[in-house]
Chain A
Amino acid sequence: MRQVQSTKSKAQMKTRPSAKKAAKKPSVKKTEKAQAKDRALGLLPKNQVLQMMDLMVKSRVLEERLIKVYKAGDAFFWIGGPGEEAFGVPLGLLTNKGQGPAYDYLHLHYRGTPTLIAMGMPYLESIRLIMNRATDRSTGGRNFANHYCYPEWNVVPVGSPIEVQYGMAIGTALAQRRRKMKKEASGVTIVTGGDAGSAEGDFASCLIWSSRPGNELPIYITVQNNKWGISTPFSEQHGEKNVADRGKAFGIRTNVVNGNDPIESYFQIQGDLDYIKKNTRPVLTEFHVSRLYGHSSASGANRDSGEDPIELFEKRLVDSKYVAPGFVKELWAQYDVESRQAADIARSEAGPSKDTIWDHVYADGENADWRKF
């Protein structure tokens, strides 16, 4: 099913850096003089910095392709994560991916493309999803764009109801805590979602259940604050200065960071995950991010103003002479070709057939159609 061109980013193919190894021992050695201007860049090996740039572009090009696919009439709806790359890519790189409680669980919202791209999702799989093809390996043509499901990476099904993932995350974290207490291999649970959704009770549930005295959970509670819930500004509905402040009442370690800076995000996520693993306690971190194409196709999916994390990062890399001025443009063009090819493949594929509607209502092929009881 997955006859895919590349699962690795261009930078990965060129340099094959090990993100995890590097994450454990961040090199503080300056590799170039120019880094004196931008000390933060020098905290990561150069190939890893380039890898992040590469993956951010790779993710953005895919999202823009998804939008084009929608606008060309090849999809019914688009929603996704352009503007969240500087948060989502480091998250994907730092996730310990695998299946089952020994690995990290990801309860993502519908802006998770950067994370999936960083984990190695091929373009074709995302495009099949938005085009609701039978080959869509996440939902079989049943659900919207960016509603990913990758059991082999513990990416549990992304849903449309806002905030419910913050409640379900309690359960996977509890399963992991149990294993940790038995000294078995166990990962952490990571949950992502928007600022407006934090008004739902499920967010409060997550804070309460993850900080029960003596039963604290290994859970990374993150909020991607783009300051909007569709058309409603955060500032009109929320009296709290930061969403993350709400964690303080529960003794949860909280942070507010610039999620448009991939280096800052990288080290924040790395430090948070280390803390969670070491202490079996939750962390709540709020990442300020951009929403660069509006809420979804329902609001037009047109380019909005707002800080572009890719432009900002590119400028830093050019200023620090990590890359030549045309580097990102060229990368963009390469990925654009790849995305178009993937779209062409998906376009030629069939949708699910009508007789499949009863498939997987119950496990193991058990009939769920009352006409046949």
Chain B
Amino acid sequence: MANMAQAIRMALHYGEKNLGVTDIFGEDVGAPLGGAFTVTQGLETAWNSPLDERGIVSTAIGLGLAGDRCVAEIQFCDYIFNTIDLLKIAGNTLWCSNGQYNMPIVVMTPVGAGIRGSVYHSHSFDAWAARLPGWKVVMPSTPLDAYGLMISAIKDPNPVLFLKPKSLLRVRGEELLPGEPAEKELKSMIDAPIGDRSKWKARWPKLGEFEIPIGKGKIVHEGSDVTVVSYGRTLPLCVKAAQELATQGRSVEVIDLRSIYPYDWQMIRESVQKTGRVLFVNEDTEVTNFGEHLAYRVTQELFYEIHARPRVLAGKNLPGIGLHPNLEEASVPHYEDIVHELREVLEEVP
């Protein structure tokens, strides 16, 4: 099975072949490296840009104004912060022009902890991104979702921020992509060789179109006692926690939100109405966290239908994530935290 890096690469290839993508660019995105996480290896329209995040985002905006389709990369979301006003502009161009200029661009960036990345390779961006009106924001947790969300992002006439959970980029999926060959064959076809790559060219499988609609979540584990809503790195941990609690007779429903904005409120609402309890899990810092918005909404709209306080489990409100595993684990949610929080929500007596 493809891993998420390969899946995104194949979606980008599909985009340049079938959806009019003209430029896939950013720092070390082109040959020979093909991206810090190999996501852009072998792509025809991939090129290396100057080391200039503001230049990358503003060039994407200009390409969008000209009607070309691009996917721009910020190498780590930790370095996207000096582009925040440009992200605002991308999000407000259609609105400020009273509907006259679309901004059909995709910006992708790896996010989150889990690779011992220390202070500047472990940031999250979902809470910040949720405060960029005009953007759509997605974060997959499986290769197939990554493939389908990238295709939807490219097709979308609005700016889409595609957050790549970096600790999941090497994890293989459990579902085949449309047109995906066997694992070994895939590797020999689309992974650049170690060493000299000057003569290497990717051989692409015949891929099929597959879209995950932006704004639609997925129930990845059905349950009836409590709902947990997550996305990205923490999502598989929530599934594992649900499996563990199932052995103890507790039934946990896990929603992979997949889209942070617009988000699938109908799915959350129906699930919480069924379970009466909810936990939101993500790893961005906890103060003014996106999960807080969802918890607030549950409180406002479902107050009389729930049996426990809605909770948010998120990253500690710290200026950084320390390198030592003890520091990292104490800073962002990990498996035991999720199990613990779920037990608390389940055991709460109104």
Contact = CB atoms under 8 A, between A and B. Distances in A.
Interface string B88-102: 010001111111111
B23 A174 contact: yes
Contact of B52 (A149, A151, A205, A360): A205
Given A172-B65, A174-B59, A360 B99 contact: yes
A139 B96 contact: yes
Given A175-B62, A175-B66, A363-B157, A209 B52 contact: yes
Given A169-B62, A364-B157, A209 B97 contact: no
Interface string B53-64: 011011111111
Interface string A165-177: 0011111111110
Contacts of A202: 54-55, 58
Residue among B68, B97, B133 with most chain A CB within 10 A: B97
A327 to B, nearest CB: 38
B47 to A, nearest CB: 8
B310 interface: no
B65 A167 contact: no
Interface stretch (A51-59, A156-164, A329-337): A156-164
Interface in B249-266: 261-266
Residue among B57, B62, B86, B100 with most chain A CB within 10 A: B62
Given A167-B62, A171-B65, A175-B66, A360 B157 contact: no
Interface string B267-303: 0000000000000000000000000010001000000
Contacts, number: 150
B234 interface: no
Contacts of A363: 94, 102, 104, 157-158
A205 B66 contact: no
A368 interface: yes
Contacts of A205: 50, 52, 54-55, 58
A170 B58 contact: yes
A75 to B, nearest CB: 18
Contacts of A208: 50, 52, 55
A157 B62 contact: no
A201 B54 contact: yes
B85 interface: yes
A100 interface: yes
Interface string B27-40: 00000000000000
A147 to B, nearest CB: 8
Interface in B212-236: 215
Nearest to B130: A370
B260 to A, nearest CB: 11
A258 to B, nearest CB: 30
A142 B134 CA distance: 15
A105 interface: yes
A142 B55 contact: no
Contacts of B264: 373
Given A175-B66, A368-B133, A149 B97 contact: yes
A164 B66 contact: no
Contacts of A170: 55, 58-59, 62
B94 A361 contact: yes
B208 interface: no
Given A205-B52, A373-B265, A164 B96 contact: no
Given A100-B67, A170-B62, A212-B50, A360 B98 contact: yes
B22 interface: yes
B215 A373 contact: yes
Contact of B63 (A149, A164, A175, A209): A175
A209 B65 contact: no
B58 A142 contact: no
A163 to B, nearest CB: 10
A370 B262 CA distance: 7
Contacts of A178: 22, 68
Contacts of A147: 96
A178 B96 CA distance: 28
Contact of A174 (B62, B95, B96): B62
A167 B94 contact: no
B317 to A, nearest CB: 24
A361 B66 contact: no
Contacts of A174: 23, 59, 62-63, 68
A155 B293 CA distance: 38
Nearest to B50: A208
A159 B89 contact: yes
A138 interface: yes
Given A174-B23, A370-B262, A167 B58 contact: yes
Interface string A334-373: 0000000000000000000000000111111011101001
Residue among A176, A361, A364 with most chain B CB within 10 A: A361
A176 B235 CA distance: 43
A171 B54 contact: no
A35 interface: no
A362 B63 CA distance: 18
A361 B58 contact: no
B243 to A, nearest CB: 29
B95 A168 contact: no
Contacts of B89: 159, 161, 164, 168
Contacts of A373: 215, 262-266
Contacts of A101: 66-67
A192 to B, nearest CB: 15
Contacts of B99: 140, 359-360
25 contacts: A139-B97, A139-B98, A140-B99, A159-B96, A161-B85, A164-B58, A167-B59, A167-B61, A168-B62, A170-B58, A170-B59, A171-B59, A171-B63, A174-B63, A175-B62, A175-B66, A176-B66, A202-B54, A202-B55, A360-B99, A361-B95, A362-B136, A362-B158, A363-B104, A370-B297
Pairs of residues from A and B, 6 with the lowest C-beta to C-beta distance, nearest first: A171-B62, A167-B58, A140-B98, A175-B66, A363-B157, A205-B55
Interface of A: 100-101, 105, 136-140, 142-143, 147, 149, 151, 156-157, 159, 161, 164, 167-176, 178, 189, 201-202, 205, 208-209, 212, 359-364, 366-368, 370, 373
Interface of B: 22-23, 49-50, 52, 54-55, 57-68, 85-86, 89, 93-102, 104, 133-134, 136, 157-158, 215, 261-266, 293, 297
